[in-house]
Amino acid sequence: MNIQIKIGGFVDEEKKGARHAESRRQLVGSLTSLQFKESPISAPATIRLFFHDCFVEGCDGSILVASSSTKELAEKDAVENRELKMEGFETVRKAKALVESKCPGVVSCADILAIAARDYVHLLIKLFNSKGLSIEDMVALSGAHTIGFAHCKHFVTRLYHYRGKGQPDPYMDPKLMYALRMYCPSYGGSAGTVVPFDATTPFLFDHAYYAIAAIPVGVETQSKHRKRTKKSQPITAMRAVVQRVASAKVEIALSQVEGRLVSEIGPGLLVLVGLHDSDSDADADYICRKVLNMRLFPNENTGKGWDQSVMQRNYQVLLVSQFTLYGLLKGNKPDFHVAMPPERARPFYASLVDRFRNAYNTDAIKDGVFGAMMKVSLVNDGPVTMQLDSQSPKSAEA
């Protein structure tokens, strides 16, 4: 099967658009930095606002829209969202006004909220680092429900009228439900009544909350939904599309029909790599190890199929960076905000290529040109194509 694919970087118009996008991110970044200094609560307020927006049918900015009538409540005025801090809304309003003054009618409020939330995460990481605390410490402390309490009103529907059906949440542990009903009656209870998130060790800062979050004995519903539904699993993985090929080559596109040959392999693997904004060395190690050890080739001596890796066959690997693997559709327009930005992706991708060369054979690992418009030609052998994510739900089996 002979296929030609155009992938890689931007044409001139796209490069111009990328520069404009970077300038818009800088505008929002200047505003979030100022807000963080003047009102530090803006950071958690905006991140929580972003979570509430995305948790219901995607990150579309609907959390920012107020109700137009009393008969039909908008998302912003839903009971669950009434206690959201105004500092989060103010961040979006100010950032939107700043961007509109420079680039009117281009950037949506949904994008502004996503960019601002990401900026605040990076600012919080820097703040925690300045105190000698790591990202892991920040996550543990920011999610410190192990010493927190919840008001009955936030979960009472799970005890009596889950999803409006007049029945309790079937996924809640029966013993926990009985205990919670003692504190939180269906009607007439005190609005100030609270119960601990971590009922096992409510006054100790330990890992118990995270342990019970993995089983249905927690007060909050979020952990249950994240565990039970694939849709709510966040995408935080390096992505590789691995194709078994008889041959493959990469050319730099000189025109619609001409190209300059950059790399070429015979039998082996063509690997398209998408970098996520949150990728780390651990993701790179996982992808490298898995790709080189995937048993995608038959054993010619024994006749067994799916028995040997690319290294066992002494074949070659052609790596090609492809940010579009993390494209998300907003309507009909692709959006790449979850992909790692080019300024970080370039050195990170180079380190990934080095990992492959160090783990296998330098001469056996070929590469495209990062950020260039490329023409990739391949003869898929099979066809055989596999998608590999570094932090998929079952990646722990490694």
251-268, pLDDT tens digit by residue? 997 776 677 999 999 999
Consult the annotation and say whether 12 binds a ligand. Answer: no
pLDDT at 14: 45
Query: Does 337 show up as a binding residue in the annotation?
Result: no
Contacts of residue 244, defined as CB under 8 A and 6 or more positions apart, other chains included, come to: 268, 269, 296, 297, 380, 381, 382, 383, 384, 385
Q: Which residues of the chain, if any, have pLDDT below 70?
A: 1-20, 56, 69-71, 142-147, 191, 199, 207-236, 256-257, 392-398
Give CA–CA dist 275/257, Å, rounded: 29
Residue 131 is classified by DSSP as T
For position 298, what pLDDT does the model report?
A: 96
Through-space distance between the first and last CA atoms of the chain, rounded to whole angstroms:
32
**Chain position carrying tokens 């939904």:** 225
Active-site annotation holder among 52, 154, 207, 337: 52
The pTM of the full predicted model, rounded to 2 decimals, is: 0.47
Q: Are 114 and 91 in contact (CB under 8 A)?
A: no
Query: Is 274 marked as binding a ligand?
Result: no
The alpha helices in 71-199, defined as continuous H runs, are 86-102, 109-130, 135-142, 156-160, 174-183
Q: What is the CA radius of gyration of the chain?
A: 25
283 assigned ligand-binding residue: no
Is 146 annotated in a binding site? The answer is: yes
- Given a contact cutoff of 8 angstroms between Cβ atoms, the answer to whether 99 and 28 are in contact is yes
Q: How high is the pLDDT of residue 196?
A: 81
Element (H, E) at 349: helix 342-359
Task: Name the token pair of 181.
Answer: 């009903």
**Who contacts 38 (Cβ-Cβ below 8 Å, separation ≥6)?**
none
**pLDDT at position 70, please?**
62
The reply to whether 363 sits in an annotated binding site is: no
Contact present, 44 and 52 (Cβ < 8 Å): no
Query: Alpha carbon 347 to chain centroid distance?
Result: 20
Whether residue 276 lies in the annotated active site? no
Beta strands in the chain (DSSP E): 2-8, 149-151, 194-196, 239-253, 259-265, 268-274, 316-321, 328-330, 333-335, 365-367, 373-389
Answer yes or no: are the C-beta atoms of 321 and 315 closer than 8 Å.
no
Residues 6+ apart with CB under 8 A from 324: 7, 274, 334, 336
DSSP letter (8 states) at residue 132: T
Q: 328-330 and 316-321 as β-strands: parallel, antiparallel, unpaired?
A: unpaired
How confident is the model at residue 213, as a pLDDT? 62
Is 221 annotated to bind a ligand? Reply is: no
Backbone angles phi, psi at 267, to 5 degrees: -60, 140
Q: Are 196 and 202 in contact (CB under 8 A)?
A: yes
The verdict on whether residue 53 carries a ligand-binding annotation is yes
Predicted pLDDT at 228? 43
Q: Is the peptide bond before 216 cis (omega within 30 degrees of 0)?
A: no
Domains and CATH numbers, the chain: 21-142 (1.10.520.10), 143-233 (1.10.420.10), 236-397 (3.50.80.10)
Name beta bridge partners: 2. 379
**Are the beta carbons of 82 and 63 closer than 8 angstroms?**
no
The closest of 146, 199, 157 to 181, measured between CA atoms, is 157
The span from the CA of 269 to the CA of 366, in Å, is: 10
145 annotated ligand-binding residue = yes
Q: What is the predicted pLDDT for the residue at 397?
A: 43
Q: Are strands 239-253 and 316-321 parallel, antiparallel or unpaired?
A: unpaired
Question: For position 283, what pLDDT does the model report?
Answer: 92
Q: At what angle do helices 135-142 and 109-130 cross, to 10 degrees?
A: 110
> Using the 8-state DSSP alphabet, how is residue 370 labeled?
T
Which tokens go with 350?
A: 């180079």
The CA-CA-CA angle for residues 267, 349, 379, to 5°, reads 20
